Structure 1
Amino acid sequence: MFVVCGEALWDLFGGETSSGDLQFDARVGGSPFNVAVGVARLGKRSALLTGLSADSLGRRLHAALDREGVDTALLMTKQAPTTLSLVDLGPDGHPAYAFYGTGAADRALAAEDLPQLGEDVSGLHFGSYSLVTDSTGSSLLELAHREAGRRLITLDPNVRPTVEPDLALWRQRIAAFVKTADLVKVSVEDLETLYPGVAPAEIARCWLSTGAKLVVVTAGGQGAEAFTAAEHVRMPARRVDVVDAVGAGDTFQAALIAALLESGRLTGQAVAALDAEALSRLLDFAMAAAALTCARRGADLAYRAELPALDLEVH
């Protein structure tokens, strides 16, 4: 089982009625929530570790996880509200988010909430604003330090300055998580926000020198790159008629995790040993999954049956 750590919330897509009133289409979301669902849809066991509100929105999030087959044993019930995210889609389908979550349940995970993980847990994923919103962020960092080297650790910063505008805090906390991570997936947009003017390859080399075994940089319609200590590969994006890009990065991340689980590459050493051909196949698999999400409304993640067979054998 892969444990995904971080926020669960509701995305609200706004629109005007013919009479000029504002109405919302509410969808379950949050990057870690989506990744947990994505891993389950890709045929692998997943669980979500987060603070979840006891309110009606929190109960609906719990029910949605149950429907998707995500293990809910690690959800920590909190007497705090559920985060809401207002989503504004640009003409190219790229989303912009405004978060309403001060004092919300997904920011209230405490050190005493951290579980003792069983032998069936093969890895953990950390990401998004849960990295920097305390008490959740510091608690998850404690968990990452505790489990690093014992299980596969993956990370997606998924930077959200509208939640935490202090980029120095983001850089500090991400650097701390990178030291524990085997796989880091990050978007070009996040890198430009965090390190303006610095080439992605330079940042990837830095992260590889501090602990990461594989760094994947996504660039939307421009494709993706993968970096290890020995290899660098670049793959073009798949052509797709984009409805919106909500959840595409989360689908990509879930596909990376599911592919490593499917191939039994569950250690940092196994990830580092991927050759250029295997890395190309890994990127293509993840981009195929992300393309399916881009062709659908909202964070509607891919299912395993929609994707081709995968071979990550090193040749």
Structure 2
Amino acid sequence: MTVPAPRVLVVGEALVDVVPDATGQPRDLPGGSPANVAITLGRLERDVRLVTLLGDDQRGAMVRQWLEASNVRVLAQATGSGRTSSAEVTLDDSGAASYVFDLDWELREVPHEECDVLHVGSIATVLPPGADVVLEAVRRHRDSALVSLDPNARPAITPDRAGPAARVEELVALSHVVKVSDEDLHWLHPGHDPVATATRWASMGPRLVVVTRGGEGAVAVRSGGSVLEVAGVPVAVADTVGAGDTFSAVLIDALVGLGVGGPDSAGALQALSDDEVHTAVRSAAAGAAVTVSRPGADPPDRAELTAAVARQAGAAAE
């Protein structure tokens, strides 16, 4: 009997990143955190669909083509403005990205698509009116799928911290696995140690909370109390666009590969050994390192990820 391939449903924004090239001139690159997660999973040969909004314009056509080229099934509703959303990207001397957004997130519904994994994150989870539709989808899928959350903080879109922080806490309690950067946690809960916040979150419902720390690696906190340190991967940084999204997608891919997904996701996550979780997070870090090594949101395919994980293992053994 053939076991069906796990089905992943991603809900969130797809947009165009306006990124300066080597001469400083702007260029359009498809992106958006949830779209980047979907792209990565598609390149890793997972069955993935993206629920999003796209304008009926040249940028929308470019984003759709980009997604479909990586085997993402696009379930797009039309933006109210007719324009595809955009983010103007500024890179500092280290390649770290900051954003100014022109965003439409009036998502009307999430189709009742069966899935084994639901991933949500970024602006889509906190920007009204679409954020309420995302929350309803999380509630609907929590008992039937692995729910993954990546709450990117976007102060340019939601400068009032109280509302987004409360919504993120609500989503954390409904999720099984959360990946969040230390920068996001510093904005959501200023003055609090990120790992302490992750530990609190891991007691609220998730079985796994992973805090990424850029080049310094990551910390994985399990609901049973284990705290696992994962070293950073040395890499020459082109820019950081899409790195965290690659991390989220590869983490999902690794967990699915360990049998996590579907109705018993919480139990399956809980049953993983610390070594299995550590290996999954190391794979995610290796995948993110590939993305930061090249411009824009350009995540690895399966062969590139396999090679990156092997390099990482070889370096650790030396």
Q: Which runs of 5+ in 2 are unaligned?
A: 1-6, 310-318
Query: Conserved in 1, the CA contact under 8 Å of 2:173 and 2:205?
Result: yes
Q: CA deviation at 1:274?
A: 2.2
Cα distance in 1 between the residues matched to 2:182 and 2:300: 22
Query: Conserved in 2, the CA contact under 8 Å of 1:4 and 1:47?
Result: yes
1:57-76 Cα shifts (integer Å, max 9, x gaps): 1122112211111012x222
**SS where residue 261 of structure 1 aligns?**
helix
Letter in 2 for 1:138: D
Match of 1:276 among 274, 277, 294: 274
Match of 1:225 among 212, 219, 226: 219
Cα distance in 2 between the residues matched to 1:287 and 1:210: 25
Q: CA deviation at 1:156?
A: 0.3
Query: Conserved in 1, the CA contact under 8 Å of 2:117 and 2:145?
Result: yes
Q: Which runs of 5+ in 1 are unaligned?
A: 311-315
Match of 1:165 among 159, 162, 168: 159
Match of 2:136 among 136, 142, 158: 142
Query: Conserved in 1, the CA contact under 8 Å of 2:12 and 2:124?
Result: yes
Cα distance in 2 between the residues matched to 1:224 and 1:54: 39
Letter in 1 for 2:139: H
Stretch deviating more after TM superposition (28-37 or 91-100): 91-100
Cα distance in 2 between the residues matched to 1:201 and 1:225: 7
Q: CA deviation at 1:16?
A: 8.9
- Aligned counterpart, 2:304: 306
Letter in 1 for 2:137: L
**SS where residue 155 of structure 1 aligns?**
strand
- Aligned counterpart, 1:64: 66
- Aligned counterpart, 2:102: 100
1:184-242 Cα shifts (integer Å, max 9, x gaps): 00000001111112122321222122211100000001100101122210011011111
Q: CA deviation at 1:15?
A: 5.7
Query: Conserved in 2, the CA contact under 8 Å of 1:179 and 1:210?
Result: yes
How does the TM-score come out when normalised to structure 2?
0.90
CA distance 1:199–1:16, change in 2 (3 Å): closer
CA distance 1:15–1:277, change in 2 (3 Å): closer
Cα distance in 1 between the residues matched to 2:143 and 2:237: 39
Query: Conserved in 2, the CA contact under 8 Å of 1:44 and 1:261?
Result: no
- Aligned counterpart, 1:313: none
Q: CA deviation at 1:308?
A: 2.9
Query: Conserved in 1, the CA contact under 8 Å of 2:237 and 2:292?
Result: yes
Query: Conserved in 1, the CA contact under 8 Å of 2:148 and 2:177?
Result: yes
Stretch deviating more after TM superposition (8-17 or 292-301): 8-17
Cα distance in 2 between the residues matched to 1:24 and 1:240: 25
Query: Conserved in 1, the CA contact under 8 Å of 2:182 and 2:194?
Result: yes
- Aligned counterpart, 2:4: none
Q: CA deviation at 1:275?
A: 2.1
Tell me whether 1:8 sits opposite 2:47 in the alignment. no
Cα distance in 2 between the residues matched to 1:15 and 1:65: 22
How does the TM-score come out when normalised to structure 1?
0.90
**SS where residue 174 of structure 2 aligns?**
coil
- Aligned counterpart, 1:124: 118
Q: CA deviation at 1:260?
A: 1.4
Query: Conserved in 2, the CA contact under 8 Å of 1:86 and 1:97?
Result: yes
**SS where residue 306 of structure 2 aligns?**
coil
Match of 1:241 among 236, 239, 242: 236
Cα distance in 2 between the residues matched to 1:291 and 1:249: 10
How many pairs does the alignment contain?
297
**SS where residue 268 of structure 1 aligns?**
helix
Query: Conserved in 2, the CA contact under 8 Å of 1:8 and 1:31?
Result: yes
**SS where residue 175 of structure 2 aligns?**
coil
Match of 1:289 among 287, 296, 302: 287
Please identify runs of 4+ aligned residues in structure 1 that moved more than 6 A: none
Query: Conserved in 2, the CA contact under 8 Å of 1:38 and 1:251?
Result: yes
Match of 2:191 among 192, 197, 206: 197
Tell me whether 1:209 sits opposite 2:203 in the alignment. yes
The CA RMSD measured in Å over matched residues stands at 1.6
Stretch deviating more after TM superposition (192-201 or 122-131): 192-201
CA distance 1:197–1:307, change in 2 (3 Å): same
Cα distance in 1 between the residues matched to 2:228 and 2:164: 27
Cα distance in 1 between the residues matched to 2:36 and 2:183: 19
CA distance 1:16–1:147, change in 2 (3 Å): closer
Query: Conserved in 1, the CA contact under 8 Å of 2:54 and 2:85?
Result: no
- Aligned counterpart, 1:114: 110
Query: Conserved in 2, the CA contact under 8 Å of 1:124 and 1:152?
Result: yes
**SS where residue 53 of structure 2 aligns?**
strand
Match of 2:248 among 253, 257, 282: 253
